[in-house]
């Protein structure tokens, strides 16, 4: 028996996906993709806040932005600077 035997189908599928990803990408590439994904969520939440005025969306955006910054910091200086720039631009449109 392997560890996979004891995993739920959802977790097993996630492990298989991660196995393929780790065999094809560097950690830096994974961190960059993850940073960009979180950045997209942050910007979408800022926009949702602007459209609907829900404070929760702004709070979510800040949480997503923090995740984007964290992952960008591990992806390298060019990604880090780009993520920070995009976040600051999005924040500048959000009155509090």
Task: Spell out the per-residue pLDDT of the chain, length 96, in tens.
Answer: 677 778 899 999 999 999 999 999 999 999 999 999 999 999 999 999 999 999 999 999 999 999 999 999 999 999 999 999 999 999 999 876
> What are the b/e assignments for 45-54, b being 16+ CB within 10 Å?
bbebbeeeee
pLDDT of amino acid 3: 75
pLDDT of amino acid 68: 98
Q: Is the pTM of this model over 0.75?
A: yes
Give the Cα separation of 6 and 2 in Å (integer).
8
Which contacts (CB < 8 Å, 24+ apart) does range 8-17 have? none
Nearest in space to 39 (alpha carbons), one of 19, 17, 69:
69
For residue 7, the 8-state DSSP code is S
Tokens of 44: 């979408």
CB distance 58 to 96 below 8 Å:
yes
pLDDT of amino acid 1: 60
Domain boundaries, the chain: 26-92
Give the Cα separation of 80 and 73 in Å (integer).
5
């Amino acid at each position: 028996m392997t560890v996979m035997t004891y995993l739920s189908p959802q977790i097993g599928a996630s492990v298989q996906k991660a196995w393929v990803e780790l065999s094809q990408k560097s950690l830096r590439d994974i961190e960059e993709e993850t940073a960009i994904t979180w950045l997209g969520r942050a910007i979408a939440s800022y926009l949702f806040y602007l459209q609907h005025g829900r404070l929760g969306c702004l709070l979510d955006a800040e949480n997503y932005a923090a995740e984007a910054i964290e992952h960008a910091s591990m992806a390298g200086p060019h990604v880090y600077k780009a993520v920070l720039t995009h976040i600051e631009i999005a924040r500048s449109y959000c009155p509090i």
